[in-house]
């Protein structure tokens, strides 16, 4: 994910490839949510469609599925000099503003 996905970098005249246009990279293993994960799959579906309501009406032929990531590493590139590795436990402790 990158700040370039919004208008922050453009408004602040930062090239999307410049490290100061921050990027966060999550790596890990993905697990497809099936019928045994019904509550998690419903939560994922609600989260997606609440943020992107048009998607709910997209054809069922797209064969939607939902998955979750077991995060193994978080890297933040927000300045020159390489990525910073974020402690996963600290990441999950974070609260919204």
What's the 3-state SS for 4-62? HHCCHHHHCCCCCCCCCCCEEEEEEEEEEECHHHHHHHHHHHHHHHHHCHHHHHCCHHH
Evaluate if pTM is beyond 0.75: no
Residue spans per domain, the chain: 3-93
Question: Is CATH 2.30.110.10 what the domain over 3-93 is classified as, yes or no?
Answer: yes
Identify the band that residue 93 occupies on the pLDDT scale cut at 50, 70 and 90: very high
pLDDT of residue 97: 81
Tokens in use for 42? 């419903």
Q: In this predicted model, what pLDDT tens digit does every residue of 14-68 receive, in sequence order?
A: 999 999 999 999 999 999 998 788 899 899 989 999 999 999 889 988 887 889 9
- Cα–Cα–Cα angle for 66, 42, 24, rounded to 5 degrees: 50
């Amino acid at each position: 994910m990158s700040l370039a996905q919004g208008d922050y970098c453009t408004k602040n005249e930062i090239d999307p490839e410049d490290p100061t246009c921050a990027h966060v990279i999550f790596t890990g293993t993905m697990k497809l949510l099936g019928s045994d994960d019904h509550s998690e799959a419903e939560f994922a579906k609600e989260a997606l469609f609440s943020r992107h309501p048009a998607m709910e009406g997209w054809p069922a032929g797209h064969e939607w599925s939902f998955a979750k990531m077991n995060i193994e590493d978080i890297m933040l590139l927000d300045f020159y000099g390489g990525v910073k590795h974020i402690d996963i436990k600290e990441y999950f402790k974070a609260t919204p503003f």
